[in-house]
């Protein structure tokens, strides 16, 4: 069974508000989040990912699919058949962020997702953040797979590279 780490932007896009995601992207995110109810989602054991979700999503579980995803993960965080709580260690070295990562220039707010993906050997789901594509060499060196749900938003154009 595949384990997934879900960047917050996926749930935000699925909610269809406060996002620059187009309708096609929003639909893909909705479908993917709904499918995760039958998969395993990895979060960190410190609660950093859940804290970020709670800051951007509605904890009551509605009205959006992203909100329902938060509720599902929160309600099942101690049920290993749905959620894998992954141990990660924050680093004093600001160039790394977490002991599980080498020195990197990755977005600081996304390092927790990357550290969890490394430890849990999980696939990262991304919708709209370009940093996952911009740091492809880092992903490759860490053997982390990133599933770009909305490549029209998440990838740099050839002219920008």
3-state helix, strand, coil in the chain (%, to 5): 45, 15, 40
Does residue 154 or residue 102 have the better pLDDT?
102
Give residue 18's domain range: 3-160
Q: Could you report the per-residue pLDDT of 10-22, keeping only the tens digit for each?
A: 999 999 987 889 9
Q: What is the CATH number of the domain that holds 99?
A: 3.40.50
The full DSSP string for 84-142 is: EEE---B-S-TTTSBTTS-S--S-GGGHHHHHHHHHHTPEEEESS-THHHHTHHHHHHT
Average pLDDT over residues 129-149: 96
Structural domain count, the chain = 1
């Amino acid at each position: 069974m595949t384990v997934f780490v879900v960047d917050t932007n996926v749930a935000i896009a699925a909610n269809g508000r406060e996002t620059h995601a187009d309708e096609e992207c929003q639909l893909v995110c909705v479908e993917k989040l709904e499918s995760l109810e039958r998969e395993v989602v990895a979060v960190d054991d410190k609660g950093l990912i859940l804290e970020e979700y709670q800051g951007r999503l509605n904890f009551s579980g509605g009205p959006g699919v992203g909100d329902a995803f938060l509720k599902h993960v929160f309600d099942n965080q101690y049920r290993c058949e749905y959620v894998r709580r992954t141990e990660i260690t924050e680093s004093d070295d600001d160039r790394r962020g977490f002991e599980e990562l080498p020195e990197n220039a990755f977005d600081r707010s996304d390092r927790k997702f990357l550290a969890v993906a490394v430890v849990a050997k999980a696939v990262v789901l991304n919708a709209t953040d370009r940093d996952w594509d911009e740091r492809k060499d880092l992903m490759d060196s860490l053997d982390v797979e990133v599933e770009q749900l909305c490549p029209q938003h998440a990838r740099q154009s050839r002219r920008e590279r």
